[in-house]
Amino acid sequence: DIQMTQSPSSVSASVGDRVTITCRASQNITSWLAWYQQRPGKAPNLLIYAASSLQSGVPSRFSGSGSGTDFTLTISSLQPEDFATYYCQQANSFPPTFGQGTKVEVK
């Protein structure tokens, strides 16, 4: 199975900050990577698919980049509703595997 490793595990930030989360795959997944946001008590919400494509309805302050094994999710200007946990997930091959999550907390 492909292992997905996110860093950091948590980040403290303030409204308006630029936040970057990194995800590394244990092998080449080309651009087959998705990012999800999960608020407490809620289901995950797809933000980015195919590494850099913004899912319909997702604010443009979210962006994704990377290919191969190294990927990044950037929130350009953090909003109050963005305090949540973010997961990357490889979509290259079965079984799909998720990172351990990055919690974005209030500074």
Shortest spacing between CB 46 and other proteins, in angstroms: 5
Shortest spacing between CB 17 and other proteins, in angstroms: 24
Residue 64, CA atoms < 13 Å, CB-side half-sphere: 27
Residue 92 near other proteins by CB under 8 A: yes
Among 37, 49, 71, 104, binds other proteins (CB under 8 A): 49
Residue 96 near other proteins by CB under 8 A: yes
Q: Give whole-number Cα distances, 55 to 14, 26, 64, in Å.
A: 25, 25, 11
Distance CA 61, CA 49 (A): 15
Give the x/- contact pattern for other proteins in 16-35, rule: CB under 8 A.
----------------x-x-
